[in-house]
Structure formats: C-alpha cells, structure tokens
Amino acid sequence: MKFLLVAGARPNFMKIAPVLEAFRPYRDAHEVRLVHTGQHYDARMSGDFFHDLGIPEPDVNLGVGSASHAEQTARVMVEFEQVCLRDKPDWVVVVGDVNSTMACAITAKKLGIRVAHVEAGLRSRDMSMPEEINRICTDAISDLLFTTDRGAGENLLREGVSPEKIKFVGNTMIDTLLRHIGRARELPLPAGLAGQRYAVLTLHRPANVDCEDTLAGIMEAIGGIADRIPIVFPVHPRTAGKLNGSSRHPNLRVVEPMSYFAFLGLVAHSRMVLTDSGGIQEETTVLGIPCITLRENTERPITCEMGTNTLVGRDPARIGAAAAAVLEAPPPSPRQPELWDGRAADRIVELLLHEHPLPC
C-alpha cells in the first residue's frame, strides 16, 4: 500500500515522528512518504524539529507559507491535489488540528482516497477557535479516527460517527515525549536558572494576543507572578510584535523560540507552566508539572481530570490566584492516562496495515 503522511506545523511533527518510525519495519512492503505543507516555514518553528526528532527530509514540501486561513487552506488544497494525483496513495494520514490537517483531508476525500485522522475527537466546544472547525470538519469525513482518550471517542459517537471507525490508540505526542525526555532533561538550563525555581510561559492564541487590552491584562498578571518566581517566555512569532513593552520585568526572561529538546527540558525542570497551548497541557500531565491554562475551555479535559491542569481564562486575578496556589502547594505527581504508554504509533500502524487493508 501507499501512504502519504501529512505534517504542516510544529505540533504536527511531534505527532507524526513516531508514526514514521513505526512504519520503518514495513518499508520494504509498503511505500510511505512524508508531505510537509510548509504551513510553518521558519526554521525555528519547523526545521529544528526535523533534526531533533530524527524526521527525514520530507519527500514533498508544498511550501505554502503564511497567509489568511482561507488563502493558506486553499494553497494547501491546490498543491496537495497534485501530489495525490501523481502518487495515487491508498491512505492519507493527517494529524492534529491545523489548517493543513483539514485541507489535506478534504482534498484526499474528494479524490476517493481514504483518510485517517490521528488525534481525532478532541472538542473545546468553542467555534471561535479555528482549530475546532478544523477538527470537526476532518473528523466528519475521515475513514479512521485514532483517539487519544476515551472522552474523544464519546464525542465522536455523540456526533453520529460509526463506532467501527473509532480506534482508541493513545497519544503519539506522548510517544515522542517518552522517547526523548531523558535526553532533554540532560541539557543544561539557561544561565541563572535552577530546577523547580522558575516558571515557563507560552502565548500565541489570537484571543489572547491580538487584543491589546487582553494581552496587557495577561501580562500584568504575569508581572505579578514574576515578582515571586522567575519566568522564561519563549516568544511565538505572532506574539513578538504585539508585546509593546509589556514584557519588561526584571524577572521575566523573553527568549527566541526554542528547539524541541531545549523547550522540553525547560518545561521538565520548571515549577509550573502558564500557557494557551493544547499539547503542553498533555506534556505537563505526564511530566507532573502544574499547568495553568490561559483559556476558558480546553479540548483536552483529561488533563484537568488528572489534576495537573487548571483553566483560568484571561482574568488577571484568576491567573494570579492560580499561580499562587501552585507555589504554595507541593508539586503533583506525574500522571499517565490510559494508553499514554509510548506505543500509540505502533497501534496506529498495526491497524492501518492489518485490520484495515485495501478492500477487494
């Protein structure tokens, strides 16, 4: 069989790397090609990840670059259609919830190619999030839906998805974390930092960074937390130009985007993480690092159920109170949700090759 595996943005690479590795023993019998859409095209946002995660150079790079959601999605669809027509794959495997995920799924499905979605069924119930639209559209048309937890499967069943399409396999991003955490922990911390004596901040969602007043309120709360503990802030490119001096605090260290290993090591040794990311909520759960999520909702409620993640929204008082509670309590123990055992990618490849072969 022929498989096209699609990655487009930094979180995708963490999820696709173990799937590529799990296919390795079968390469003599099956053709597996990696397509990079180029949605994240900056080396700091993608190139470093290929090196760190041992991902081979993509077989195809669509090079779509940055644009509006509509334009970027359209570019991916136009370019990916040509790849599908040329390669004639039996399966297209997409991961996550970025524009590339939805665009390649729709393109493949309209060409009669079967689609598998890795990390299916996650729902925030917030339709103002582009990622939620991407998730719903991709899941609605996929032939196989690989879920990270049982709650995701329940979401799909409520939406009318046939049970036989839903496969609970675990979390491929955690496959990547468990494989590399030892190496990441061995890296030296940035000068002046000591383990468990600093926090980490990430911000990139439009709802948090595009409104000047909202961002100012969040950064006011961050300044209050920085009065008590140093904070390292790797700045996402979309956030960098919007800070307008609000990041000036002697205890807030603003740094460039970091490589996967450097960032993972930074998080693993931290006292807590403040973030609006999705994947970091899962990584901190497995690492046992308190996570304060600067959103009103999450598509990963299992992280809250495990007790490591707290939703606080954008209210400065709630942010400050949650951070104070973390600093005054003992660190939580690491948590391992069901099947987050480092073998999710093996289960995915086994299902694709043996339980769902080509129809006669």
Longest dimension (CA), the chain: 66
Q: How many CA atoms lie within 13 A of 116 on its CB side?
A: 26
Find the helix or strand (DSSP H, E) in which 228 lies: none
**How far apart, in whole angstroms, are the C-alpha atoms of residue 65 and residue 291?**
31
SS3 category, 71 = helix
Q: What is the dihedral of CA 64, 65, 71, 76, to 10 degrees?
A: 30
Show the CA angle centred on residue 23, arms to residues 19 and 28, nearest 5°: 160
**How far apart, in whole angstroms, are the C-alpha atoms of residue 219 and residue 211?**
12
Q: Tell me which of 40, 51, 69, 204 is the catalytic residue.
A: 204
SS3 category, 200 = strand
> How far lies 292's CA from each of 205, 226, 283, 287, 289, in Å?
15, 15, 13, 14, 10
Active site residue 236: no
Chain centroid offset of residue 161 CA: 24
User: CB within 8 A of 105, min separation 6: which ones?
Assistant: 92, 94, 115, 117, 137, 138, 141, 142
**How far apart, in whole angstroms, are the C-alpha atoms of residue 147 and residue 191?**
40
**How far apart, in whole angstroms, are the C-alpha atoms of residue 201 and residue 252?**
9
**How far apart, in whole angstroms, are the C-alpha atoms of residue 280 and residue 205?**
13
What are the catalytic residues?
A: 204
